[in-house]
Amino acid sequence: MIASLVVTLDRCHSDLHRTMDEIASLPGVEVPGPEGLQYRIPILIDSSCPDVLEERTRQLQQIPGVAFVDVVFVHFEDESGEIPGAPSERPTCHEL
């Protein structure tokens, strides 16, 4: 699964570089290169589990200096080989 998000930083926060470092340190989170500090940052989260995507989004929201987290797009492919529409149980994830 891949999720695209836009993180908006709080312009009044005193240490936005530390905020960026904390965002970049989250497992599975990719941020753009250091072309200068921006206040709206596109972020990509790559995970095999929807629960991890939700947890990363919540972690981003908790970082000091983050004002908003907007989920722009979520893409997933069913690689289980199951027939679409067939009942299945929700998989559990242990990558948190």
Q: Domain locations in the chain?
A: 2-75
pLDDT score, position 58: 93
Q: What is the mean pLDDT of the chain?
A: 81
Measured CA distances, 19 to 34, 45, 62, 65, 96 (Å): 13, 17, 11, 6, 21
Phi and psi angles of residue 29, each rounded to the nearest 5 degrees, phi first: -100, 130
Please give the CATH architecture assigned to the domain spanning 2-75. Answer: 2-Layer Sandwich (3.30)
Residue 46, classified by CB atoms within 10 Å of its CB into exposed (0-12), middle (13-18) or buried (19+), is middle
Q: Give the predicted TM-score (pTM) of the model.
A: 0.72
pLDDT score, position 34: 62
